[in-house]
Structures are given as C-alpha cells and as structure tokens.
C-alpha cells in the first residue's frame, strides 16, 4: 500500500469552495502548475510565502509516493504595469529606466529569484518555462480563439470576447464574480477603446513604435497578453486537463478566471481539477507589496538591515515562521513573531541534531502505553499534512516529538521503554518530516568561541599596525569589521574591545 493510499489527501479546492479528497487524473501521478514571478524586480518576502506554499505541496505529494511534474513559469513579457491591458510592460519599463536590454533585466532578476529560492530551501520545479519561449504557441491559441468566434481583432490587437464566452460557459466560475456587475462597474469605455466590452481582455497587443519587446504575428508586430502565457504553458506540459493549479490569492481574479475562460474556450474542456490559492503575507494587516512600500527583501531580513527590523533572522527561521500558519490564512509579519519563531525553530533543529546521534541498544522491555503514544504522534504527522497540508498542526506534533527526543538525550535509559523498531520509526519520521516534507534544514549556529578568537586575532593585528604607525591599515580593519556589524572600541592605554551590533 502506498503512503498516499494510507493517508489520502484532502484539499480545499477554490473552484468548488470546499475541502475535497484529492484524486489525480492518472493514479499515482500529479501534474501541477504554479504562476511564477514577473522578473522585473527582486522578489520580496510576500512572493516567497506563495512559492513556499507550493514547495510544501509538491514536496508532500512526493513524500507520499506520487510522481510529480511541477511546472512553474517565469513571466518575462506581457505583464503590464497596473495588471491591466493598458500601460507599459513591467520588464520593458525597467529596461528603459535602467538603459538595459529587457533580457538583461530578465536574467538579473531570474537569478535573484533562484538565489532566494535556494536560500529558503525551496526546491526547483520540474519545468520552468518562460513566456518569451512560447510566443508561437500563444499566437496559435489566439488564432484558434478567433476562429471559434471567441476573440476579435482590432487595430492589430486581439481581445477575448467575455460576453460571447459566457453565453455557453460560466465566466466567474472561480472568483464568483458576476458578469453583469463587472460590466456595470468601473470606468466606461470611451471612443478610443478598442474593446467591445470593458471585461474583455487582451490576448495579443499591438506594439507601439517605442515598445521594445515585440514579435511578428498575423496581426502585425506585437506581444502576448499576460493571461495567455499560463494557459499555453500549463496545457503544453501537463495536458488540456491537469490536476492542480496554484498561485497567490491576488491572482484569482482576473488572471486565473481568464486562464479558465481561454483554455475552456479553446479546448472545450475544464483545464484544472483543483485550484489552490495561498493567502497573503501582510505587514500591520496590509498586503506586503513593492508598490505599497512595505516590502522586505529576503536579504534585508537575513542581515536585519531594514528600518522595521530589530535584527537579522536566518532563512530557516523565516521558513519556520511561515509554516507556523496555514497557507489559507493571512500571516502578519512582526519582529515579535520572528523572535518567537527563532526560539521555536532552534528547539526543533536541536532535536534534529540530537535524534541523529541517538541509537537504540536493543533488548528493550517495551512499555505498551509509551509505544502507543509514540506511534500516535507518527500517525498525526501524516494525518495533519494530509489534511489540506496543515503545516501549523504538523509543527505542533513535531514539538511533542522534540520533547521526547530531549528526554531520551538526557536519560538514555528511557530508550529501553520502546522497542528498536518503534524507536527507529520515530527517529526516521522526525527526520523525514523536518527535512523532506517541511524542508527545514539544520542550520549551523555561529560558533561563538571561534568568532571571539578570530576577532581577538584581528585586534592583535590592529594593535601591531598602529605601533608601526600604519594608520591607514588600522582604519581599514576597523571599518571592514564595522561593515559586517562588529564595532571596535579604542580604550585608554591602547586597549581595544568590541561589540557585535544586534
Ligand atoms: P508577481 O511577481 O507580482 O507576479 O507575484 C508572484 C507571486 O507572489 C504571485 O503568486 C503573487 O500572488 C504572490 N504574492 C505577491 N504579493 C504577495 C504577498 N504579500 N503575500 C503572498 N504572496 C504574494
Ligand atoms: Zn499565471
């Protein structure tokens, strides 16, 4: 029996609005697609939360024995400023401002994204396609939608006809938005507008002469709309109907609603069986976002170099902090919460180091009650994760397991209360849930003795160069140490002390 049969997954499907048993289209296999970053900026901590959620989900599918194909794209064209059909391309704009080629922008921020993913131990997807690598497919599906009467061309741009689509399908099926209300609300179309209705959205946009990113098409030079890339890349690699599509809650409408309309219109099939939307990371209750000016870069969080931060936190502390809440709840950032997470993570991480050193001597006189309790904890880890990937509840169980590990480490004789078999099962489960399912690695804490010794060597060296009246080098040692947060203090009689800035 496979683990996924023993612990079947239940997940909250945002399409149906209820928790459902997860039944993949092909038994034993999972195809999942997640909207990746628009690479025109450094990813902030909020973006990271979303990618962490889907890292956990793909990890857990694999953990239970599924074979997973995980596709997460790179948006390198078509995402316009303001997330609507007018305005400059986000990447094109950045390229113009920095006087770089758009592809230089794309390369820079894709690399930054990958670095951040590695720092947080977020595993790479199986396929990472980019929008610019799929222009031909985007033109083809646009042609198909025109042929089917679901899209129309105006002045070199092509728009999806939402009203027409809605005659035979349901636009709003995911977001619950009502098409009549959408048509009434917002800005009225004026004579310059090309769209028939304001809810129509661009599949292809004509490139103005100054627009840098452009490709030839049957409608003239242009570039694809934002939503069409995800339809093309998800169905190309996962099939016309696939298991799971994810993204942040803010993408549900219009992005995901439009994806459903395009794919259903073109292929005559519902594209996705299960939709998962992860909730936002907030600061004082407000969504963390670059444009609101309340975002942190992961690097700022690690160094503590940000006005809102009291100190720096390690990547695993931040990962733990995020896993303490369920992906469907908002998570509010605060120094207090991170300080608490630092303590909590240290406890789990210490137990992880300890349990690896523990061995069972064998020949135990097992205590049935103790064994029962331990087996129950093991079972609860799986039950909690299979219940809509509940990392918060799983961590609570791991804390109980960590207490047990600490007891054993302090009183080795208590290991004789359990059989070798149960002990090994317990040990493997703790390690596997920490490292594989939750991706929480051991972090080597700074060795204070080593640090102190090194600083004292540098202090000695600085005294020496001062005696030699090499003040330039003496200042350089002081300034370089200051730059990494170590402040040297010159006392009376040439004595020196230091302080580590927190
Ligand atoms: P973008 O690069 O803007 O397309 O965003 C990449 C991903 O980050 C999307 O799935 C967004 O939903 C997600 N995202 C943006 N802001 C936040 C936030 N404050 N908390 C969680 N996810 C976010
Ligand atoms: Zn997308």
Q: Which residues of the chain have pLDDT under 70?
A: 78, 81-85, 186, 190-192, 364, 444-449, 500-502
Give the Cα separation of 283 and 358 in Å (integer): 42
Q: From ligand 2's centre to the CA of 78, what distance in Å?
A: 11
Q: Which of 225, 208, 216 is nearest to 160 (CA)?
A: 225
Q: Which ligand is nearest to the CA of 263?
A: 2
Output the six-digit token pair for 71. 């596709």
Q: How far is CA 32 from CA 235, 257, 395, in A?
A: 10, 17, 25
Q: What is the DSSP string of 34-67?
A: E---BTTS---HHHHHHHHHHHHHHHHHHHTT-E
Give the Cα separation of 64 and 383 in Å (integer): 12
Residue appearing with tokens 């610019």: 132
Which residues contact residue 49 at a Cβ distance below 8 angstroms, ignoring those fewer than 6 apart?
A: 278, 280, 281, 322, 331
Three-class SS of 234-264 = HHHHHCCCEEEEEEEHHHHHHHHHHHHHHHH
Among 43, 44, 46, 292, which is best to mutate for testing ligand 1, by the most ligand atoms less than 8 A from CB? 46
Among 43, 50, 73, 298, which is best to mutate for testing ligand 1, by the most ligand atoms less than 8 A from CB? 50
Residue nearest to atom 10 of ligand 1 (CA): 248
Q: How many residues are recorded in the chain?
A: 502
Ligand 1 site residues (CB inside 6 A) read 35, 37-38, 46-47, 49-50, 247-248, 250-251, 280-281, 287-289
User: 209, exposed or middle or buried, with CB in 10 Å at 0-12, 13-18, 19+?
Assistant: exposed
What is the pLDDT, as a whole number, of residue 112?
Answer: 96
Q: In what helix (H) or strand (E) does residue 283 lie, and over which residues does it extend?
A: strand 281-283
Q: Which ligand is nearest to the CA of 296?
A: 1
Q: From ligand 1's centre to the CA of 288, what distance in Å?
A: 9
What is the pLDDT, as a whole number, of residue 445?
Answer: 58
Among 35, 47, 52, which is best to mutate for testing ligand 1, by the most ligand atoms less than 8 A from CB? 47
Q: From ligand 2's centre to the CA of 7, what distance in Å?
A: 30
Sign of CA dihedral 39, 44, 50, 52: positive
What is the pLDDT, as a whole number, of residue 502?
Answer: 44
| Termini Cα distance of the chain | 52
Give the Cα separation of 426 and 300 in Å (integer): 38
Residue appearing with tokens 């950045």: 94
Q: Which of 398, 302, 415, 308 is nearest to 358 (CA)?
A: 415
> Residue 435 carries which DSSP code?
I
* In the chain, domain spans: 28-278, 283-437, 448-500
Q: Which of 248, 296, 249 is nearest to 72 (CA)?
A: 248
- Kind of pairing between the strands at 222-224 and 242-248: unpaired
User: 388, exposed or middle or buried, with CB in 10 Å at 0-12, 13-18, 19+?
Assistant: buried
Cβ pair 322, 297 in contact under 8 A = no
Topology, domain 283-437 = Isoleucyl-tRNA Synthetase; Domain 1 (1.10.730)
Residue nearest to atom 8 of ligand 1 (CA): 47
The values of phi and psi at residue 312, to 5°, are -90, 155
Q: Which ligand is nearest to the CA of 38?
A: 1
Residue nearest to atom 5 of ligand 1 (CA): 37
178 Cα distance to chain centroid: 30
Q: Which atom of ligand 1 is nearest to the CA of 39?
A: 2
Give the Cα separation of 465 and 282 in Å (integer): 50
> Residue 287 carries which DSSP code?
E
Q: Which ligand is nearest to the CA of 113?
A: 1
Q: Which atom of ligand 1 is nearest to the CA of 295?
A: 19
Residue appearing with tokens 């239940």: 10
Give the Cα separation of 431 and 442 in Å (integer): 10
pLDDT in tens, 445-463: 555 567 778 888 898 899 8
Q: In what helix (H) or strand (E) does residue 319 lie, and over which residues does it extend?
A: helix 315-323
Cβ pair 120, 65 in contact under 8 A = no
Residue nearest to atom 11 of ligand 1 (CA): 248
Output the six-digit token pair for 455. 């600083």
Residue nearest to atom 7 of ligand 1 (CA): 47
Q: Which of 308, 286, 265, 298 is nearest to 148 (CA)?
A: 265
CATH superfamily of 28-278: HUPs (3.40.50.620)
What is the pLDDT, as a whole number, of residue 449?
Answer: 63
Give the Cα separation of 112 and 125 in Å (integer): 16
> Residue 81 carries which DSSP code?
G
Residue nearest to atom 14 of ligand 1 (CA): 47
Q: From ligand 1's centre to the CA of 51, what distance in Å?
A: 8
Cβ pair 320, 344 in contact under 8 A = yes
């Amino acid at each position: 029996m496979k683990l996924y049969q023993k612990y079947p997954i239940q997940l909250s499907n945002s399409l149906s609005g209820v928790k459902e048993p997860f039944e993949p289209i092909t038994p034993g296999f999972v195809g999942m697609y997640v909207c990746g970053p628009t690479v025109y900026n450094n990813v902030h901590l909020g973006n990271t939360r979303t990618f962490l959620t889907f890292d956990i989900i793909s990890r857990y599918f694999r953990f239970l024995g599924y074979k997973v194909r995980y596709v997460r794209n790179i948006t390198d064209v078509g995402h316009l400023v303001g997330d609507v059909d007018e305005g400059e391309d986000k990447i094109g704009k950045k390229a113009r401002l920095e006087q770089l080629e758009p592809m230089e922008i794309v390369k820079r921020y894709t690399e930054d994204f990958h670095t951040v993913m590695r720092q947080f131990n977020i595993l790479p997807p199986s396929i990472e396609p980019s929008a610019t690598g799929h222009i031909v497919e985007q033109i083809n599906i646009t042609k198909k939608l025109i042929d089917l009467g679901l899209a129309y061309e105006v002045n070199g741009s092509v728009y999806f006809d939402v009203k027409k689509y809605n005659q035979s399908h349901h636009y709003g099926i995911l977001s619950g938005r009502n098409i009549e209300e959408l048509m009434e609300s917002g800005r009225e179309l004026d004579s310059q507008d090309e769209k028939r209705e304001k809810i129509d959205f661009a599949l292809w946009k004509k490139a103005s002469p100054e627009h840098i990113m452009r490709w030839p098409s049957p409608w003239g030079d242009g570039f694809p709309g934002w939503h069409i890339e995800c339809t093309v890349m998800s169905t190309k690699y996962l099939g016309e109907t696939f298991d799971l599509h994810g993204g942040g809650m803010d993408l549900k409408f219009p992005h995901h609603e439009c994806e459903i309309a395009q794919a259903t219109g073109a292929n005559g099939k519902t594209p996705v069986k299960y939709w998962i939307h992860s909730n936002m990371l907030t600061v004082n209750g407000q969504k963390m976002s670059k444009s609101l000016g309340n975002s942190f870069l992961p690097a700022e969080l690690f160094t503590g170099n940000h006005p809102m931060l009291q100190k720096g936190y390690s990547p695993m502390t931040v990962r733990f902090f995020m896993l303490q809440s369920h992906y469907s709840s908002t998570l509010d950032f605060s120094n207090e919460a991170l300080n608490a997470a630092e303590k909590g993570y240290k406890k789990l991480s210490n137990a992880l180091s300890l349990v690896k050193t523990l061995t069972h001597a064998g020949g135990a006189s097992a205590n049935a009650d103790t064994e029962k309790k331990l087996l129950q904890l093991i079972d609860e880890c799986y039950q909690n994760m299979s219940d809509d990937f509940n990392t918060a509840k799983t961590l609570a169980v791991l804390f109980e397991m960590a207490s047990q590990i600490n007891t054993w480490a302090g009183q080795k004789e208590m290991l004789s209360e359990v059989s070798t078999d149960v002990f090994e099962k317990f040990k493997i489960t703790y390690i596997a849930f920490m490292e594989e399912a939750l991706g929480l690695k051991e972090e080597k804490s700074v060795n204070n003795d080593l640090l102190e010794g090194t600083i004292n060597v540098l202090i000695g060296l600085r005294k020496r160069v001062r005696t030699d009246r090499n003040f330039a080098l003496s200042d350089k040692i002081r300034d370089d140490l200051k730059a990494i947060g170590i402040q040297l203090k010159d006392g009376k009689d040439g004595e020196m002390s230091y302080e580590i800035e927190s």
